[in-house]
Amino acid sequence: MFASIRWRIAIPLVLIICLSMAGLGVVLSNLVRQSKMEDIQQGLETSVLLLAEQLVQQDLLQNPSQIDEHVDDWARVTGMRITVIDASGEVIGESHQDHNQMENHADRPEFLQAMSSGLGNSVRYSETLDFDMLYTAAPFAIDGENAGVVRAAFSLESLEDDVQELQETIWLGAGISALVMASVALWFYNRTVSPLASLIASTRGDQAEDSGVKIHPDRRDDIDQLALALDGMTAQLQARFEALQAERAKLSAILAQMTDGVLLVTPEGDVTMTNTAARELFDVPIESPLGISLIRLFGQHQLVEIWEECLRTGEIRILEMQSPRLSRHIQATAIPLGEILIEHTLIMLRDLTEMRRLETVRRDFLSNISHELRTPLASLKALSETLEMGAMEDPDTAERFIALMKKELDSLAQLVSELLELSRIESGQVPLKLLGVDPCALMAKVSERMALQAEHAELTLKVDCPENLPQVLADLPRIEQVLLNLVHNAIKFTRPGGEVVLGSSVRPSMIEFFVIDTGVGIPAADLSRIFERFYKTAQGRQREGTGLGLAIAKHLVEAHGGQIWAESEEGQGSIFRFTLPQA
């Protein structure tokens, strides 16, 4: 009997209905109690506010002996218990008891709330009256300060009696309603049971080899058959859903790893898909929402223009744009998706900044190397032509010209040597033999090697090395080359009578080396470029040199894990600093 679908549906439903009606009875009882409680509380609040106002207006606080008379009158009129309490908690007026016999009320919740926030309410058991009471208090003020409270109390005994009577009525009505609804539910489900067999047959029709209903002999009722059919459908849907999730995960992983930016734009111009690379290209926060317009999300009118052109023509459009704010060159390619996603556009974004920078470096390199080669080659040509024209017949002239040619050839050899050295350093083909090096000994050696050059330039060369300086981890010949280069430049650009200081200091986990001169200084516009190869300032172009020394120094220092930079004011001298790790 109970295996039948009729009873397996009807019995739980009847239980649910009965429990629901019971719950409804409880809820209604609580709502009625709450409603009546709110009405009583509202009446108490109105009363205490009026009584507090009268207490002040009638100046009763100046005549404490009259307070009890008025409290008694108020209690008879309102039907409430009235208490007047001063700011210290002492009872100075009471309608149902001698106030001199009552304890201090400073700890009563309603008193504390009223003194602090204007009104106080509480429900608690009254030991004085032996039943639950609802207390409401309102403050009265003298000269702008709370001087006490007027409290009204109302017995909840009658409220509970009313609620209990109401509950009995509700429970009776709920019981009758539950019986009626249960009977109707049983009748309704009796009429519903018979179509379930047809529902099972139609549900399993797609899985069976024919359109008939196949019932397994071990199945005992219709609801189990229906569950089996639905399980089969669920399994198919689950498999398809998992396949879609796997494809989506693959697509997300591919998009996340792409270095090119990807945008999917709807016909309305809203971005519905993007990847991390696209957001990073335009500094768009990762948490920025999708589904908003292209211009609002990326703020680039050129993106909107290429999208509109692609949408209008249905053809691929390519645009290279430059963002001055972000200092980037970006190539945008808009691709119509045609029948895949009608009128949707895929925009591919490629960062060309590094490519354009390398092109600029290549152009500058070719221009600089051409200039550096042109001058000595032109001199060599002029000197050789002069010798051909008869200068060889004069031994002194020939000797002088040959010396000049040798000097130009030495310059070319130095240029080629420094270019090869820089190329090896940049490509990582120069292995570093890192050892612990004493900074003071290193600087003393450099100072000794450059002393004669400083003397010829009429300069003072000093070494400033603190005691007990930790060793640095360095390739000694390479770092000596860096210091020699910096000191040589300082001497070359410092006027006679000036000073060059070679020194060092301790930094956290690093040692800082510095070369200070009192020379001509470096213009602020040139400071950021002096470590580029072949770059020379206006003063540098007037002196000999390849313009590669600082570039070599920069790469050598960075290969050691340090940093190099310059500080200068034009006409005030320069400071070149670099750091190396402590050993």
Interatomic CA distance for residues 485 and 187, integer angstroms: 104
State CA 362 to chain mean position distance.
39
Query: Quick check: helix, strand or coil at residue 513?
Result: strand
- Domain regions of the chain by residue span: 1-199+223-256, 257-356, 361-424, 430-581
Distance CA 180, CA 188 (A): 12
- The closest alpha carbon to 475, from 429, 448, 436, 505, belongs to 436
| Nearest partner of 443 among 434, 454, 435, 451, judged by Cα | 451
Q: Measured between alpha carbons, how far apart are the two ends of the chain, in Å? A: 90
**Dihedral of the alpha carbons of 224, 230, 231, 235, in degrees to the nearest 10:** 170
Instruction: List the one residue out of 419, 468, 424 whose CA is nearest residue 582.
Output: 468
Rounded Cα–Cα distance for residues 465 and 106 (Å): 76
Amino acid 286 reads: I
With 0-12 / 13-18 / 19 or more C-beta atoms within 10 angstroms meaning exposed / middle / buried, residue 578 is buried
Cα–Cα distance between 83 and 108 in angstroms, integer?
12
Place of tokens 């589904």: 291
Calpha distance 560→552 (Å, rounded):
13
Give the position of tokens 């009405």.
39
Separation CA 287–CA 363 (nearest Å): 41
Q: How far is it, in rounded angstroms, from Cα 72 to Cα 447?
A: 107
Give the residue from 505, 501, 485 showing the smallest Cα distance to 575: 501
Residue 7: the pLDDT is 64
Task: From first to last of the 583 residues of the chain, give the pLDDT tens digit.
Answer: 455 565 666 667 667 777 777 777 778 778 877 887 788 888 888 888 888 888 877 777 777 777 878 888 888 888 888 888 888 888 888 888 887 878 888 888 888 888 888 888 888 877 766 778 888 999 988 877 888 999 998 887 777 777 777 777 777 776 777 677 767 766 766 666 555 555 555 555 544 444 444 444 444 556 566 666 767 777 888 889 898 888 888 888 888 888 888 999 998 889 888 888 888 888 888 777 788 888 888 878 888 888 999 988 889 999 888 876 667 888 999 999 877 778 889 999 998 888 887 777 677 666 666 666 676 777 777 778 777 777 667 777 777 778 877 877 776 776 676 667 667 766 666 678 889 999 999 999 999 988 988 999 899 999 999 988 999 999 898 899 899 989 998 998 899 999 999 999 999 999 999 999 998 888 887 887 888 876 666 554 445 555 677 888 888 899 889 999 999 988 889 999 999 999 8
Q: Under 8 Å CB-to-CB from 380, ≥6 apart: which residues? A: 405, 408, 409
pLDDT at 537: 63
What token pair was written down for 231? 């399980």
How high is the pLDDT of residue 472?
94
The CATH class of the 1-199+223-256 domain is alpha beta
Q: Do domains 361-424 and 430-581 have the same CATH topology?
A: no
CATH of domain 430-581: 3.30.565.10
CATH no., domain 361-424: 1.10.287.130
At 418 the three-state DSSP class reads: helix
State CA 208 to chain mean position distance.
Answer: 55
Q: What is the DSSP letter of 223?
A: H
Q: Where are the alpha helices (DSSP H) in 314-467?
A: 353-388, 395-426, 439-456
The reported pLDDT for the residue numbered 581 is 94
Task: Kindly calculate the radius of gyration of the chain based on its CA atoms and give it in whole angstroms.
Answer: 48
Return d(Cα 348, Cα 47) in angstroms, integer.
Answer: 75
CATH topology of domain 257-356: Beta-Lactamase (3.30.450)
Helices (H), 58-122: 64-78, 109-117
Q: Is 209 helix (H, G, I), strand (E, B) or coil?
A: coil
